């Protein structure tokens, strides 16, 4: 027993020397990249807005839970959708946008802290159908799993009744909001799911299989129809919007603020990194092995984001990303990005900016639609990349060729007699160190 204890003591001693070698080895550095922020599925609403100066293509991600026979979705638009432009698109386009614009944290060594359309087809009246001189049907079509009708009306109540008679059930409490759009002369794209063999009426929790929808229409300013969301929104509604135009954008009729990288860095440094402060690499390893509940520190960007949003008295959209297309073209070898370019480039002629907005609003804060205008401060890149040093809480487990070499060479410095006596101990120590590192 005494021999075993001595062996362990010798092993721990030499392992500690190995840590010292790693910590002091010149050139031992690493850059660790972490994606921070919300998951790719968290927003209640997500949209891609592409505006070429005349027309807007609006891509909306559909999120719905419940019986598919009750699914009804109404999108108000300032003009009639261009003919044959209502289509479905793969949701992967949003996953790519989210990942490319997501805030990222770079953990680095102190040695590198200095990085620190001409014409518009209005369609003649014969293409529509007049109903009691108050409802006009502009288009009826089947797109993927959706039955879609494009209509306009003289009042909210008449429009709601007409849609209800045709299976597009809409609550009558929506009268005032529908009237809001009717008074502006807007049109409505009403959508419901066509229940087929793959969808059962008994399915009470249908959350997948509904593709995103794309619509193209004429508008002088990029717009996201938000006001109607008041009817069905949760108490706290998270909205994520990607606006693709020739410039970096801000909201025209909502307050816009930019997420400050320095503010995020300071908050993360104070709230997250210091949790590890004072722990040696060996202590962390022991805790990791013997405490199943042990978790690595969380870089809590989301709390910083929500605190910033809550600090404003008025509804506010926060810019988390704004870059020229060159930022995306640098990764053009990705198949997903090629798909993204196929959707964007035909409108923007290979020259565009992507601005990402995010906010959390209650239904009462959705008092108007969101219009966008070029940023008066000009076009400046704003990828939210945060650089932090891990020197304060360096765990000691970042191995290098110098550290491992030091561990192997230390026993060789001892006398020949010592090496013979503790040869097995040295081999065991090296194996234990490698296992602990992994």
Work out the angle at residue 262's Cα, subtended by the Cα atoms of residues 260 and 265, and round it to the nearest 5 degrees: 110
The stretch 7-30 carries a mean pLDDT of 41
pTM of the entire structure?
Answer: 0.74
- pLDDT tens digits, one per residue of 371-404: 999 999 999 999 998 887 765 444 444 444 455 5
Looking at per-residue pLDDT, the higher value among 274 and 349 belongs to: 349
Weakest mean pLDDT among 198-207, 348-357, 421-430: 198-207
* 78 phi/psi in degrees, rounded to 5: -75, -15
Q: Is the pLDDT confidence value at 166 over 80? A: yes
Looking at per-residue pLDDT, the higher value among 119 and 66 belongs to: 66
Q: Is the pLDDT confidence value at 260 over 50? A: yes
Weakest mean pLDDT among 25-39, 140-154, 228-242, 244-258: 25-39
- pLDDT tens digits, one per residue of 183-220: 999 999 998 887 664 544 444 344 455 788 999 999 99
Distance (Å, rounded) from C-alpha 159 to C-alpha 178? 8
- What pLDDT sits at residue 116? 37
Q: Highest mean pLDDT range out of 103-107, 175-179, 428-432? A: 175-179
- What pLDDT sits at residue 417? 65
Looking at per-residue pLDDT, the higher value among 211 and 76 belongs to: 76
Weakest mean pLDDT among 60-69, 267-276, 339-348: 267-276
Looking at per-residue pLDDT, the higher value among 8 and 269 belongs to: 269
- What pLDDT sits at residue 93? 86
Looking at per-residue pLDDT, the higher value among 278 and 184 belongs to: 184
- What pLDDT sits at residue 412? 58
- What pLDDT sits at residue 437? 59
- What pLDDT sits at residue 292? 52
- What pLDDT sits at residue 391? 55
- What pLDDT sits at residue 377? 93
Q: At which residue do the structure tokens 């026979």 appear?
A: 69
Weakest mean pLDDT among 149-158, 178-187, 199-208, 429-438: 199-208
Q: Is the pLDDT confidence value at 225 over 60? A: yes
Confidence of residue 113 (pLDDT cuts 50, 70, 90): very low
Q: Which residues pair with 387 in a beta bridge?
A: 106
Q: Is the pLDDT confidence value at 102 over 80? A: yes
Q: Which residues pair with 131 in a beta bridge?
A: 135
- What pLDDT sits at residue 211? 85
Average pLDDT, the chain: 74
Distance (Å, rounded) from C-alpha 391 to C-alpha 402? 18
Q: Which residues pair with 318 in a beta bridge?
A: 257, 358
Which of 110, 98, 91, 112 has the alpha carbon at shortest distance from 35? Answer: 98
**Cβ-proximal residues to 217 (8 Å cutoff; 6+ apart), any chain:** 55, 56, 58, 77, 78, 79, 80, 81, 82, 85
The stretch 79-90 carries a mean pLDDT of 88
Which of 297, 271, 273, 296 has the alpha carbon at shortest distance from 391? Answer: 273
Domain ranges of the chain: 2-32+265-294+393-437, 33-116+118-264+295-392
Work out the angle at residue 155's Cα, subtended by the Cα atoms of residues 150 and 161, and round it to the nearest 5 degrees: 70
Distance (Å, rounded) from C-alpha 186 to C-alpha 80? 8
Q: Is the dihedral of CA 222, 228, 234, 235 positive or negative?
A: positive
């Amino acid at each position: 027993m005494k021999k075993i204890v001595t062996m362990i003591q010798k092993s721990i001693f030499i392992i500690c020397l190995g840590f010292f070698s790693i910590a002091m080895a010149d050139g031992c550095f690493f850059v660790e990249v972490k994606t921070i922020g919300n998951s790719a599925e968290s927003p209640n609403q997500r949209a891609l807005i592409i505006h070429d100066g005349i027309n807007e293509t609006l891509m909306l991600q559909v999120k719905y839970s419940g019986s598919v026979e009750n699914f009804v979705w109404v999108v108000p638009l300032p003009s009639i959708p261009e003919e044959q432009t209502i289509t479905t698109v793969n949701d992967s386009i949003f996953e790519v946008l989210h990942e490319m614009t997501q805030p990222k944290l770079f953990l680095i060594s102190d040695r590198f802290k200095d990085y620190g359309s001409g014409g518009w087809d209005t369609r003649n009246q014969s293409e529509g159908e007049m109903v009691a001189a108050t409802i006009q049907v502009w288009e009826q079509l089947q797109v993927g799993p959706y039955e879609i009708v494009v209509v306009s009306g003289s009042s909210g109540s008449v429009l709601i009744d007409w849609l209800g008679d045709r299976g597009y059930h809409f609550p009558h409490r929506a009268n005032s909001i529908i009237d809001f759009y009717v008074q502006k002369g807007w049109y409505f794209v009403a959508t419901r799911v066509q229940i087929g063999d793959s969808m059962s009426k008994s399915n009470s929790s249908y959350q997948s299989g509904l593709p995103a929808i794309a619509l193209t229409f004429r508008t002088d300013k990029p717009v996201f129809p938000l006001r109607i969301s008041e009817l069905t929104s949760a108490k706290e509604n998270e909205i994520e919007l990607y606006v693709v135009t020739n410039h970096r954008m801000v909201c025209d009729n909502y307050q816009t603020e930019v997420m400050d990288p320095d503010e995020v860095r300071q908050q993360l440094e104070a709230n997250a990194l210091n949790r590890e402060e004072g722990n040696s690499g060996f202590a962390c390893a022991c805790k990791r092995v013997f405490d199943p509940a042990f978790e690595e520190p969380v870089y809590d960007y989301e709390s910083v984001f929500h605190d910033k949003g809550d600090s404003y008295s008025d509804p506010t959209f926060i810019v988390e990303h704004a870059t020229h297309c060159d930022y995306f073209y640098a990764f053009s070898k990705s198949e997903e990005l090629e798909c993204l370019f196929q959707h964007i480039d035909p409108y923007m002629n290979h020259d565009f900016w992507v601005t990402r907005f995010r906010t959390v609003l209650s239904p009462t804060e959705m008092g108007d639609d969101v219009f966008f205008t070029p940023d008066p401060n000009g076009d400046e890149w704003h990828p939210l990349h945060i650089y932090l040093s891990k020197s304060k809480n360096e765990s000691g487990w970042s191995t290098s060729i110098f550290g491992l070499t030091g561990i192997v060479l230390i026993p060789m410095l001892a006398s020949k007699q010592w090496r013979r006596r503790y040869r097995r101990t040295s081999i065991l120590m090296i194996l234990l160190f490698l296992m602990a590192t992994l």
